[in-house]
Structure 1
Amino acid sequence: MFLPLHDGVPLKNMKTPLATRILLAACCAIYLFTFHGPLGADAMVAGFGLIPSVLFGTEILPEGYPFVPVQLTLVTSIFLHMSLFHLIGNMLFLWVFGDNVEDAMGHWRFLAFFMLCGAAASLTHAFIEQDSHRPLVGASGGVSGVVAAYLILYPRVRIWGLFLKGIPLRLPAYWAIGFWFVLQFVSAFFGGDDGIGWFAHLGGFIAGAILIPIMRHRYDPVLARIEAREMQSPR
């Protein structure tokens, strides 16, 4: 278990991470609508969640579902969360890491980046679980892409987080995120909780690592490492 709390990296290219805040607000608003709106949680999940067997045409939902073209559920599923803990965990990752990744891309590129990573994560899960009729929901795939981008941009920045059973530690990003990635990998391949889309997390992470060199403004890995070291140096 790893929950990030604070990184302290200042924004350099913008004053406000608007895209990150829009995504946070959208996920929270849709969570409220899911449980307090007229459709109800079951209908929301069936209508907007990603169901692998439906995506690949081996099963058909009842008439009236899904509410959008089935291919679009690769994206709509990103904004659904089925528990408050699930929502808070994803939003905490997005809050800590999203602003700095957005700062390196700009608002519109970051929104596109997040959606692409989320869709790649959903598609990865669907290919692995092609016969599954269990809906996949949650922003974890898009968040995983953001985490990968942050690791490439700021590998040595120290992050405050809660590890294992709530132990507070301040570690370099490559240790903290490395610990998180190993947990996802082991859980995916060696039997983690069946209710969690571990392969979606891995798919989103790989997509983020591939996309960040393409979508970042003035990408320079060496410069990013120098900037990270300067942030840690005493002033």
Structure 2
Amino acid sequence: MKKLSILIPTYNEEKTILLVLEKIKNVELDGLEKEVIIIDDYSEDNTEKVIKEYQSKNQNFSIIYFKQDKNKGKGAALHKGIKQATGDFLIIQDADLEYNPNEYNILLEPILEGVADVVYGTRFMGNKPHRVLFFWHSIGNKFLTFLSNIVTNLNLTDMETCYKAFKIEIIKSVLLKEKRFGFEPEVTAKIARIPNIKIYEVGISYYGRTYQEGKKINWKDGFRALYCIFKYGFLKMK
């Protein structure tokens, strides 16, 4: 049986991580077993305790847990998770509840059908539920996607989405450097340069959070994304 590696970078998500794990546990995949890899980015709340208690109560559910030796950022957590993944396919899952694990099969369908190597789950396409939140965030996301598309010659609608699915050999072949939220424009620029790569988009739901509810990305990350688009897209730096 083939395997799906699910990477969960987490930082101070004691309130939501159990709900995410329960959703993942209950997802029925089409002929795939699940490998869940949690990379705790040195959480300062009870995230570690909550996860370990869940592990002890659900020993038949494969969860691999790592804790960084200091807070390094989402990108750094993903670098570690990608190295540890042993599946045939890989999906990135945030530890909050903004994205719904019940949609894994939607993301995986183009890959399993043999037409895609990478699939982006777009929040701006289709008729899935989408929480109404920040106007300027949506403008920023679309602007960054637009600039990314200019330098990659892709026609993505949501470069900044968390939900990305990869054939494992594709993502493991990419040298990644960005340690924070620059992961998104960097990985997009670098996979776009892979010869004959097949990239698809599918519509997904989005249950966004406010900052009071724990949202972490901020305006500084937007400027870093601009820098990464220029560095890895326009300059094509490795």
Fold-level match, TM-score > 0.5? no
Q: TM-score, normalised by structure 2?
A: 0.30
Rg bigger for which structure?
1
| Structure having the larger proportion of residues in helix | 1
Query: Which protein has greater RCO, CA pairs closer than 8 Å, 6+ apart?
Result: 1
| Structure having the larger proportion of residues in strand | 2
